[in-house]
Amino acid sequence: MKIWVDADACPVVIKEILCRAATKRQIETAFVANQLIRLPPSPWLKSLQVPKGFDVADDEIVQRAQQGDLVVTADIPLAAEILAKGGFVITPRGERYTENTIKQRLQLRDFMETMRSSGEHTGGPAPMNQADRKQFADQLDRLLQRYSNV
């Protein structure tokens, strides 16, 4: 298992949790973004900078991720592509996307996009809180215990 992080929009606290987990469990983890991501020194952590552009980081993750890899992203279309490749996906808030839930998430995303394009103000996600951080850390730990070879 390798961990791929859609790092452009990933909260700093989640990056820190991922860095600690990757180093502790010795799991290669790549932070993919269109800007330089500073990481603590570790042979298990890598920052992969891609050119700026719409979905460039997402496309890079899809191209590189393999069956059994874990992707951390809130991007629903990216999550759908990773699930189709046989990967695992969790959001920075610790929600796990599965084949059973991704279609509903895509439909909801499309509906909300239609609402926004018609002028409806839908607001954004609530600020990340301590419960979100704990849920992410717990979900990450469960996935790594169950599916990593370490």
Side-chain half-sphere exposure of 18, counting CA atoms within 13 A: 30
pLDDT in tens, 123-144: 666 788 999 999 999 999 999 9
DSSP reduced 3-state for 90: strand
Q: Considering the chain, what is the average pLDDT of its residues?
A: 89
pTM of the model: 0.85
Residue 121 pLDDT exceeds 70: no
pLDDT in tens, 87-106: 999 999 999 998 878 777 66
pLDDT at 150: 44
Tokens of 20: 């600690």
Question: Which class is domain 3-119?
Answer: alpha beta
